[in-house]
Amino acid sequence: MVREGGRGTDGKTGRRRAPGRRAVLLGGLGVAAAAAVAGREEIARAWWLLPGVAKPRKEGELDHAAASWTAASPANWRLADRPDDYRVDRIVVHVTQGGFASSVDAFKNPWHKASAHYIVRQDGHIEQMVRELDVAFHAGNRSMNERSVGIEHVGFVDRPKDFTDAMYASSARLAADICRRYEIPADRTHIVGHSEVPGADHTDPGRHWDWDRYVGLVQDALRAGPGVS
């Protein structure tokens, strides 16, 4: 049943009125403006994808102040200018399935063909191996690699004792720092496990990784503000 005189209807017939010219014009202008903004953004991103266009960078410069630096082999990551060429809107959580030294050595090995931006140890130490500007080969998915920061955690998926309080706390502060800088929501849509990446054949971080605890710690660190440990 159609009510007479209802909002958006003809009071005599009860039929819905067609939008007026002004509404159509304003709506069209809104769409055009949105398209123009999107178009400018894509043009800006295309500029940063041109050969020879690159941001200035310094070897060993850190993105997270609490980290130390060891460079991964250039064969294990790709030069980029994020977030200007590729948006950064995901964090991918990994587990190394090995020790700290062996993981660092693997990322330094050009034959390994994989790396992550960070490795977090059980004692909370953080090693950065790829700049966040650049695309680390960590997720097994090109699109996810381009849009994400990869954080490795030293340990084995079937050993819950490897995921220490110090590791959770340090990694959460790191993740919060990343979320803050790229305006990434601190939730399970934007902070994902390697096993959740489309096409992934890995199982990490596994069933012993406490997602509720981790995301809660990230949110707490965000509320505490930058520079608070």
Alpha helices in 64-155 (DSSP H): 100-108, 142-147
Could you read off the pLDDT of 70-126 as tens digits, one per residue? 999 999 999 999 999 999 999 999 999 999 999 999 999 999 999 999 999 999 999
Q: How many CB atoms lie within 10 A of CB 226?
A: 12
DSSP 10-32: -TTT-PBPPPPHHHHHHHHHHHH
Among 46-55, 88-97, 136-145, 148-157, whose mean pLDDT is lowest?
46-55
Could you read off the pLDDT of 156-166 as tens digits, one per residue? 999 999 999 99
Could you read off the pLDDT of 185-220 as tens digits, one per residue? 999 999 999 999 999 899 999 999 999 999 999 999
Q: How many CB atoms lie within 10 A of CB 178?
A: 24
Strands annotated E in the chain: 68-69, 77-78, 90-95, 118-120, 126-128, 135-136, 148-153, 191-193
